[in-house]
Amino acid sequence: MTRFFQSNTAIAGYSIYQIGLHWLIAALVFAQLIFGERMTEAIEAAEEGKPISVLGTNLASMHYYFGITILALVAVRLTLRLRNGVPPPVPETSKAIELAGRLSHGLFYVLLFVVPVTGLLGYYYGDPYGEWHTYAKPVFIGLIAIHVAASLYHQFWRKDGLLMRMVRPGG
């Protein structure tokens, strides 16, 4: 488990595949957060026997398929992470910041797996899975805000090049 959170290999940076998966998954999650309510509306309309617009139906379908896509891409990303490892912390990083980074990345992976799974369970079996799926949205938004703030802190305050690891391949 240590290797998952901290690399034992001295790789210089992430591969083009790891970077591509990071940004593709981020874009899909962003779309899910914006358009995800349409799935809830579609399910509620179906339960109440009310019609739903073509746009609502298409956005609900998009949410369903994007969720499955995220789950598959996360499996690939985890495989690459376990196979390739991760770059070491940037020099002069405190143990507290290093731990916070490992914990937040671990929580991202948990959410990126659990949220699509609870969404599928909620879709096919209803509550409580659907409720659990819905509760993940504010957690995701908070974690994304922390992740972005930490990236900007590293880029503009510490100027340690950490953000560039997820922009330019290095290993």
Q: What is the pLDDT of residues 41-99, one digit of tens each?
A: 888 898 899 999 999 999 999 999 999 999 999 999 999 999 988 888 888 888 998 89
Helix or strand or coil: residue 162? coil
Find the largest Cα–Cα distance for the chain: 60
Q: What is the chain's Cα-based Rg?
A: 18
What average pLDDT is seen over the chain?
A: 89
**For the chain, what percentages of helix, strand and coil (3-state, to nearest 5) are there?**
75, 0, 25
- Contacts (Cβ under 8 Å, ≥6 apart) of 18: 77, 80, 81, 84
Q: Using one digit for the tens of pLDDT, what is the confidence trace for 111-159? A: 999 999 999 999 999 889 999 999 999 999 999 999 999 999 989 998 8
Task: Find the distance separating the first CA and the last CA of the chain, reported in whole Å.
Answer: 22
How far, CA to CA in Å, does 146 sit from each of 43, 103, 151? 31, 12, 8
Closest to 90 measured CA to CA, from 161, 151, 142, 23? 161
pLDDT for position 43: 87
CB atoms within 10 A of CB 168: 12
Q: What is the pTM of this model?
A: 0.87
